[in-house]
């Protein structure tokens, strides 16, 4: 009897469901609300896993054919897809990451309460990605389950509080105030690119003074952009491979039709995964925010990147387009140097390349925006390729997919030796806290 209960309780869908339930009970919600919250959260995780399975099965023929034709390992870059796949394939990672995500949030709240970095990380899917990535790193380093959770939650809390603080100086430049921060796992990439853009740019010539065409707006729709990218790459591969090679996968189906359907199938998998993410976050994030509001009033909410978009729409587009170009360059560089080909991520280019463009405009005007977007795109694919050679993702069920979140890539690389990685994170945390204290002191002096 006990073992049955333990079995049920250690599935990630159940763990996250229970966390949501606790959050709702703490907020004194009705019984019906608590029950539906529990179910929707658990269901969300299951839908997510279903999506991850579809993604992996649709991309597998591509990976095979790509390797045969180009003698290179090609993979789609999407952190959601790769962590979804890893979580679905390795139960230990799934259950430990769920705990890391839940308890890591509390660590974030405690750090915001007691250290100078008063940021509460509120972008749910990013919390999820980093929890799985951290669990993965500690798992392959040989930690046992209990230690994965202990060290993992500390890391998660540190990272979630630290990242918004790192880009906050930039965000203040963009928004002109200190009321919101950014919670994303591409902070190191965008901030670095923006600094480089600032060095070579001219702050006085803002990109917002220029008129740009609006025809590229449809890329904001995930289903459209993912489909278009996958269609292009799949078609290239099946045409290059030829009907005979493709028939090994396609059977009697025409080889071009096969490529088209697989590409769309990949998109479908992404949409299913996102729906699952939407469901479980819809229950979890309000609980988290409720807890944070009670324990750290006056903390700065760190939100998803689109909150910056309205401040500099032209820079967004510039960042987007330049990031695509940068990604293509990085893709070729990675193929040549690492023999791995990370495919361009249009969604990454739009949402995060766009942010690089916006921050680049704040530091270096339109030239800064261009350079920032280009640098960011290049870093994304190049580092993703490098990461792919350092770890065997296929062994954990993630064939054909790789990361597109630069912060996760850097963290995973640092955690190759976990103890050094943890020390580095703590060290950076202390440094950034010191800088934040200096900023707060200057603000006090200014307002006198």
Query: From CA 54, how far away is CA 147, in angstroms rounded?
Result: 32
Answer yes or no: are the C-beta atoms of 400 and 89 closer than 8 Å: no
Cβ proximity to another protein: between 238 and 274 the closer is 274
Binding site for another protein (CB under 8 A): 122-125, 179-180, 214, 217, 220-223, 271, 274, 277-278, 281-282, 285-286, 289, 301, 303-307, 309-310, 313, 351
Question: Shortest gap between Cβ of 179 and another protein (angstroms)?
Answer: 8
Nearer to another protein, 169 or 301 (CB): 301
Q: Toward another protein, which CB reaches closer, 274 or 324?
A: 274
Q: How far is the CB of 106 from another protein (least distance, A)?
A: 19
**Shortest distance, position 303 Cβ to another protein, whole Å:** 6
For residues 136 and 118, give the distance between their C-alpha atoms in angstroms, rounded to a whole number: 28
Least separation in angstroms between residue 347's CB and another protein is 8
For 71-186, where are the alpha helices, taking DSSP H only?
79-89, 91-114, 124-140, 145-175
Task: Report in angstroms the alpha-carbon separations of 207 from 317, 319, 359, 393.
Answer: 10, 10, 11, 40
Name the minimum Å distance from CB 355 to another protein: 12
- Calculate the dihedral angle through the C-alpha atoms of 134, 423, 108, 349, rounding to the nearest 10 degrees: -50
The CA-atom distances, in angstroms, between 18 and each of 110, 133, 248 are 21, 22, 45
HSE (side-chain half, CA atoms, 13 Å) at 41: 29
Which of residues 125 and 366 has its CB atom nearest to another protein in the complex?
Answer: 125
β-strands 401-402, 119-121 pairing: unpaired
- Structure tokens belonging to residue 351: 């949402």
Residue 16 or 138: the one with the smaller Cβ distance to another protein is 16
d(CA 71, CA 73): 7
Whichever of 238 and 308 has its CB closer to another protein, that residue is 308
Closer Cβ to another protein, 180 or 331, answer by number:
180
Rounded to whole angstroms, the Cα distance separating 128 from 156 reads 10
The nearest distance, CB 350 to another protein, in angstroms, is 8
Cα separation of 89 and 59, whole Å? 16
Helix or strand (DSSP H, E) at 260 = helix 255-295
Complex with another protein: residue 116 or 286, whichever CB lies closer: 286
Whose Cβ is closer to another protein: residue 274's or residue 340's? 274
**DSSP-assigned letter for residue 403:** -
C-beta of 288: minimal distance to another protein in Å?
A: 10
Contact 83, 133 (CB under 8 A): yes
Closest separation between CB of residue 219 and another protein, Å? 10
**Tokens representing residue 278 in the block:** 């939407």
Nearest-approach distance from CB 320 to another protein, in angstroms: 13
The pair phi, psi for residue 35, each rounded to 5°, is -65, -45
């Amino acid at each position: 009897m006990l073992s049955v209960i333990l079995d049920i309780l250690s599935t990630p869908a159940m763990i996250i469901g229970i966390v949501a339930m606790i959050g709702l009970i703490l907020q004194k919600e009705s019984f019906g609300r608590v029950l539906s919250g529990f179910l929707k959260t658990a269901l969300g995780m299951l839908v997510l896993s279903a999506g991850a399975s579809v993604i992996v099965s649709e991309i597998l023929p591509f990976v095979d054919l790509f390797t045969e034709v180009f003698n290179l390992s090609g993979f789609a870059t999407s952190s959601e897809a790769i962590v979804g796949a890893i979580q679905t394939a390795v139960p230990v990672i799934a259950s430990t990451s769920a705990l890391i995500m839940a308890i890591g949030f509390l660590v974030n709240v405690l750090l915001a309460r007691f250290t100078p970095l008063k940021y509460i990380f509120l972008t749910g899917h990013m919390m999820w990605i980093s929890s799985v990535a951290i669990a993965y790193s500690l798992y392959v380093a040989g930690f046992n389950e209990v230690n994965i959770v202990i060290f993992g939650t500390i890391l998660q809390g540190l990272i979630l509080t630290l990242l918004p603080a790192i880009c906050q100086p930039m965000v203040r430049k963009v928004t002109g105030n200190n009321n919101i921060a950014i919670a994303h796992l591409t902070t190191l990439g965008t901030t670095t690119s923006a600094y480089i853009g600032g060095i070579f740019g001219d702050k006085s010539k803002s990109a917002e003074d220029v008129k740009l065409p609006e025809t590229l707006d449809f890329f904001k729709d995930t289903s459209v952009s993912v489909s278009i990218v996958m269609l292009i790459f799949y078609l290239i591969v099946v045409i290059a491979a030829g009907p005979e090679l493709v028939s090994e996968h396609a059977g009697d189906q025409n080889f071009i039709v096969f490529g088209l359907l697989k590409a769309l199938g990949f998109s479908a998998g992404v949409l299913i995964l996102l729906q699952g993410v939407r469901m479980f976050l819809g229950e979890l994030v309000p609980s988290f925010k409720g807890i944070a509001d009670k324990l750290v009033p006056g903390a700065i909410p760190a939100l998803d990147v689109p909150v910056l978009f309205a401040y500099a729409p032209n820079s967004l587009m510039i960042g987007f387009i330049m990031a695509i170009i940068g990604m293509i360059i990085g893709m070729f560089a990675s193929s040549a140097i690492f023999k791995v080909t990370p495919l361009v991520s249009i969604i990454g280019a739009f949402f995060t390349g766009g942010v690089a463009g916006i921050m680049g405009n704040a530091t270096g005007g339109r030239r800064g925006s261009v350079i920032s977007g280009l640098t960011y795109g290049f870093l994304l694919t190049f580092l993703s390729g490098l990461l792919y050679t350092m770890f065997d993702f296929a062994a954990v069920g993630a064939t054909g997919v790789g990361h597109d979140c630069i912060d996760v890539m850097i963290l995973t690389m640092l955690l190759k030796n976990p103890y050094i990685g943890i020390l580095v994170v703590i060290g950076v945390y202390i440094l950034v806290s010191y800088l934040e204290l200096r900023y707060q002191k200057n603000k006090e002096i200014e307002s006198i």
